[in-house]
Amino acid sequence: MWQNLSLRGRINLLLALLLALGLAVNIGRQVAEAGPRVQAEDQSVIRLAREFIEMIVADLNEAPDPDARLNQIARDLSRLRHVSIALRDEGGSPLTQPRTDADDDTRGPPTWFVSLVHPEQTAVSVPVSIHGKPGSLLITSHPDDEIAEIWDAIVTQLEVGSVIALALFLVMMNVVGRALAPLHSLADVMAELEDGRYQARVAPGGAPELAAICTKLNHLAATLSEAIEDKRRLAERTVSLQDVERKEIARELHDEFGPYLFSLRAHASALAKQADGRPPNAEAVRKHGSAMLEQINALQQFNRRVLERLRPVGLAELGLRQALESLSRLWRESHPDVAIETVISPALGVTGETADLTIYRIVQEALTNVFRHAGATSVNVVIEPVEPAGDGRGCARVRVSDNGRGMEAGQKLGFGLVGMRERIMALGGTLNVVSGDGGLTVEALVPTAAA
């Protein structure tokens, strides 16, 4: 049953139990104190009555009619509220009728309560002797008024306490309901987020803790919405990049491959004509053969460039370290006036095929931009491992910095770096470009296969 109650129901139930327990403890305390109070009242009344009787009967023998005087004293004392006094003879037989509890007001406490707090009546016998004739006055306590006062106090406490407890319960139930009201809104917004409606928001309210949770949920929803939108843009960008890359490859095949093939076809036709019905001209054959060799060599160069764009040659066979050294060497040969320093940390270790390709592309794109736009004279390439992230995956930090002119204020990233950033984000990494007076720095964190 407890597990099926809501949080609001649990708090209200605990509050009701605490109020009921407090009221019960207070009533129980009064009931527990009732017995000693009645006993103390008994002792006090009996003691006073006994002293009073002993004082009265001390001069009884000097009265003209001691027996009549004693009977009159017994009748007068029987009218006392808290005690009853009966005259007894020498054998203990009553000479006057003692007062009983039935003679009292019947609108008193219930019998079970009287039996609980005053189970036995207290009685004391005071001996009386008139001219040598023994007798006694029996004093019996009747603390009915005290018991009634205690009972009335308990009933009043129960009634007033119940009203106060009920009022407190209603007030606290209202306060708890208002404080926990944002939980319903939180549940509704979570259901909307689960259904894909990422624009849903909850109005912060309630206790400060719940308001903070509402604020964080709204931030989480906004972040999730941005992530979904980034994912959509990334997918759209990926398709666009694939189309652009296909178009560029098709254009290069058409512009480069086509003319070379046409030239080879022309030289092959010329060679074939040299063998038609006459001795071939050695000079002409040599000329066409040399031209064909040049065309084939150009085709091979073009083929290597296309393959390099599609996938770096030797990356899988030689590894990342040697592939980057080969890339740097090619740039040094083509631009001897630019100093290129490449530092790969020995602690980098195995990064994985996907990470290797991504790191290579970052360095390749950054170096291409340096030699196309920066006008730099020095380039530093640093690749080193970083501490594992919270998910246990390690990362490689790639930093390419130059001393060129950097980017102008408000200038956007180029097509290549934008595509590279999206690729790294898809892998769970980051790419930042910082431009300053000392040049441009491209820094990327690339998740690796090794932790």
Cα 21 from Cα 352, distance rounded (Å): 67
* 290 compared with 67, residue with greater pLDDT: 290
CB-CB neighbours of 334 under 10 Å: 9
pLDDT, position 161: 83
Confidence of residue 334 (pLDDT cuts 50, 70, 90): confident
Largest CA distance in the chain: 191
Q: Tell me the per-residue pLDDT of 10-59, one tens digit each, with 9 for 90 and over.
A: 787 888 888 888 888 888 888 888 878 877 777 777 777 777 777 766 66
Which segment, 53-57, 100-104, 248-252, 277-281, is predicted with the most confidence on average? 248-252
Q: Phi and psi of 436, rounded to 5°?
A: -150, -170
Q: Could you tell me the pLDDT band of residue 451, with boundaries at 50, 70 and 90? A: very low
CB 355, CB 394: distance < 8 Å: no
CB 82 within 8 A of CB 141: yes
Class of 2-168 in CATH: alpha beta
For residues 349-376, give the mean pLDDT: 81
CA 63 to chain centroid, in Å, comes to: 95
Say how far apart CA 249 and CA 257 lie, in whole Å.
10
Overall average pLDDT of the 399-407 stretch = 81
Quick check: helix, strand or coil at residue 346? Answer: helix
Mean residue pLDDT of the chain comes to 76
Q: What is the pTM of this model?
A: 0.44
- DSSP character at residue 199: T
Is 100's pLDDT higher than 60?
no
Please give the pLDDT value at position 61. Answer: 61
Tokens 């979904």, residue? 228
Is residue 403 pLDDT above 70, yes or no? yes
Mean pLDDT, residues 360-388 taken together:
82
Whose tokens are 């200038």? That residue is 411
The span from the CA of 140 to the CA of 98, in Å, is 9
Mean pLDDT of 306-331: 74
Residues 6+ apart with CB under 8 A from 212: 204
Lowest-confidence pick of 7-21, 56-70, 296-310, 331-345: 56-70
Q: In the structure, what pLDDT confidence band is assigned to residue 388 with cuts at 50, 70 and 90?
A: low
> Per-domain residue ranges for the chain?
2-168, 198-310, 319-451
Q: Which two tokens stand for residue 96?
A: 């006057």
Q: Is the pLDDT of residue 223 over 60?
A: yes
Q: DSSP secondary structure string, 413-442?
A: PPHHHHHHHHHHHHHT-EEEEEEETTEEEE
Selected residue with higher pLDDT from 244 and 391: 244
Domains 2-168 and 319-451 share a fold: no
Tell me what pLDDT residue 79 has.
Answer: 63
What is the pLDDT confidence band of residue 176, given thresholds at 50, 70 and 90?
Answer: confident
CATH class of domain segment(s) 319-451: alpha beta
The amino acid present at 203, given as its one-letter code, is A
